[in-house]
Structure 1
């Protein structure tokens, strides 16, 4: 945590002695969260190689680093490693290979852009996209190639129940802006085993906005989407009702209806501060113009009741019978109605109920920052893994089923100076299909790690 951050907290009266994590995920946890401490797998051990600190007994392997050559020979590994998911690959004897699909949140200034590949490129002037890695049963990298190119600012996304990846563009730039030749702000489907089976086709019916992440209801095929808009009015929480709810590769191209969530009487989610706060009768309103031809969706007319906004809507995932989504932070100085250090919300479609289940905030030790949660996933143990995207030291935090919070990993790659160190955020945390390996990205410098160890503990 930087001195500036500590000073701001002190002035606001919010600075206690660190970061706490309060609330409970009713379907995952029992009881309430404990203060941050050496729970979980024990204290982090400094890495002598200065890359990644882990608890004793765990080890990492660097799978890929930006600037190295892609094994396909298509060019260098692109910059800005972001959202990611792991998929089961083909069986080889008794073992199955693993496919990793990794986003690259590249803008036009990216140091290493995603190389353009025939049949996989949407807009030749787009610098973002995805790469795909294939691993054998021992975690050795067998292949690494471009999975989609010519897209822009590919931030997060999410896996589908039918084994593909939905990559999201976090931009609203249209053709003619920043040199782009096509409109951007779409979702694209990526086949992790053979990207040419999905190509580079924008799923236009799912909306054109600053996408962040998605989660799919496996029972009904509904796709939930978060919007990380950078300026007020902030983003919305969406659902997409596909014409082919049974799913399958390419099914989302058939179109559907895009709707935005309205919480009656709550124009801004940041005003809700207490864990357990619940709202029934959640409404879903059709988006007037999903392509945002003239007006960004969040600025469109949703009728006299308006629509519900939230700053920094980021991670999104499906768990049990509900969808969970993250608001990374809210700052009144930037236009939010209130301030917070991070929230996790649960929406129960069956009950049409929204509940604030987790709140981040300072509590015990200023040397252990934990504000601004970003990418998030379910751990094999039933708890959570949360990527931190704040200031100061950057961690992957775990949350046990009992609600205990612990540091699972710390980034040691200093991208600042010895006098003023800085560390890049974590992103794309995910687990192998067998639950034995955690994969995670360091955003800058772009690095993909595989972490193994005594997960059974």
Structure 2
């Protein structure tokens, strides 16, 4: 949780600072919008769904016509009776269940000293010393909580991840501590598969062939089954962009345990992606180099010897998602003072596997005062309107912002839970925004105090 995460649109809209987009905004929504969604996006215009209405209960401000339900709060008892709801609500997905039910899988980005760890459960715990993991909520069609339980425990710093085509969640450890560090009894830095409908089907088995490093997010190619992975390393040497070639592609629950080959991206002549500044710049003939030691037994992967040509690094690789026939990934920022080749406020890259072509499609930046946190894109959630929802993580008031397909920015929600003092208020950032399979509900977490909301209203207005 660095100070700049999810600051893509902070202080835009209501506070007057703009966000500058360089590149085609349509790149963010490849193959996702219908004609009705395009019309909805145009209708939203600059004001979105209208001004935010103060919440009399002091939890969440929303536009008129929208309402929220609190699904879960940290410290309350889990409905399974396994212990209290853990803290630090982070990445999340919403997966379809039977009879219109929805399965939410929620990460808990707990470090070794977390006050409210994920409770250890026999058969679902990787390392008893790990405080992170996931919880799973089952909701009925009216967003009433039917069940809430531990889905995996004993992991560390579960930040983001991604859904699979077979409706499981790959939760990622943004941590690479080895056994004996911070009290851990096992090595960390792995991906774990979580089946929310039956967590014991997946258990607590690290997918070791997918690498041990500071994982952030993943995206699965639904045609070939290749899994793309980002590494969130903001200190030099910076992270890599990986692909995992599974032995059993698209094999369903548990198939990733069969292993595969981990590779890192090499863009010929480009050792650092931050050196590229012009949107539309493309590189042909992208190469993929086998990782010498995916378990990083002696040396972190990003420091390993990839040969004379090396591999391509980038600072703060975060969000990752599949669109059309390409994978998109985010570099949240780059700072020359920290070792990057050049500065930027956020980039989105598109990799076309069929053409082996990498293209810089979007560059972010504030169009007013650069000291305002209008920067650092992170995870991206596609919205029913055909646009985006983005969680804010900066200073001051915290928002969920929307971006229309036309590039207009609007405030969708504002957090009201003051974790500071009346004299110096402070609000926890949002995380894990996701929509129900039918597009009628937005689910979002407040990181601190850990709170999961279901937001309903005229999404397709």
Q: TM-score, normalised by structure 1?
A: 0.91
- Equivalent residue, structure 2, for 1:125: 129
| 1:396-411 equivalent positions in 2, closer than 5 A | 396-411=400-415
C-alpha distance in 2 between matches for 1:271 and 1:303: 21
Cα deviation digits, residues 336-368 of structure 1 (max 9, x gap): 222222222211111212222222211147898
Gaps of 5+ in 2: 5-15
- Equivalent residue, structure 1, for 2:65: 57
Give the deviation of 1:445 after TM superposition.
1.1
Cα deviation digits, residues 15-63 of structure 1 (max 9, x gap): x9543333224453799x99x9843322322323222222222111111
- Equivalent residue, structure 1, for 2:138: 134
Cα deviation digits, residues 370-427 of structure 1 (max 9, x gap): 3222221222233222222233332222222223222222222222233333222211
- Equivalent residue, structure 1, for 2:23: 23
C-alpha distance in 1 between matches for 2:185 and 2:128: 8
Whether 1:67 and 2:75 are equivalent positions in the alignment is yes
- Equivalent residue, structure 2, for 1:47: 55
C-alpha distance in 1 between matches for 2:121 and 2:17: 51
Secondary structure of 1:196's aligned partner: helix
| 1:223-242 equivalent positions in 2, closer than 5 A | 223-242=227-246
- Equivalent residue, structure 1, for 2:362: 358
What's the C-alpha RMSD, in Å, of the aligned pairs? Answer: 2.3
| 1:316-395 equivalent positions in 2, closer than 5 A | 316-364=320-368, 369-395=373-399
Give the deviation of 1:274 after TM superposition.
2.4
Equivalent of 2:164 in 151, 156, 160: 160
Gaps of 5+ in 1: 5-15
Contact 1:19 1:365 in 2 (8 A): no
C-alpha distance in 1 between matches for 2:444 and 2:300: 32
- Equivalent residue, structure 2, for 1:423: 427
Equivalent of 2:214 in 205, 210, 214: 210
Give the deviation of 1:266 after TM superposition.
1.6
Contact 2:17 2:374 in 1 (8 A): no
Whether 1:453 and 2:454 are equivalent positions in the alignment is no
C-alpha distance in 2 between matches for 1:365 and 1:399: 20
Equivalent of 2:225 in 183, 196, 221: 221
C-alpha distance in 2 between matches for 1:52 and 1:391: 17
Secondary structure of 1:270's aligned partner: helix
- Equivalent residue, structure 1, for 2:106: 102
The alignment of Structure 1 onto Structure 2 pairs a total of residues equal to: 437
C-alpha distance in 2 between matches for 1:426 and 1:263: 34
Give the deviation of 1:328 after TM superposition.
1.6
Contact 1:125 1:181 in 2 (8 A): yes
- After TM superposition, what 4+ stretches of structure 1 lie above 4 angstroms from structure 2? 364-369
TM-aligned CA distance change 1:237 to 1:180, over 3 Å:
same
- Equivalent residue, structure 1, for 2:12: none
| 1:250-329 equivalent positions in 2, closer than 5 A | 250-329=254-333
TM-aligned CA distance change 1:145 to 1:195, over 3 Å:
same
- Equivalent residue, structure 1, for 2:253: 249
Q: TM-score, normalised by structure 2?
A: 0.90
Give the deviation of 1:253 after TM superposition.
0.3
Cα deviation digits, residues 190-249 of structure 1 (max 9, x gap): 001010011000000000000001010000000000101242111111110000113200
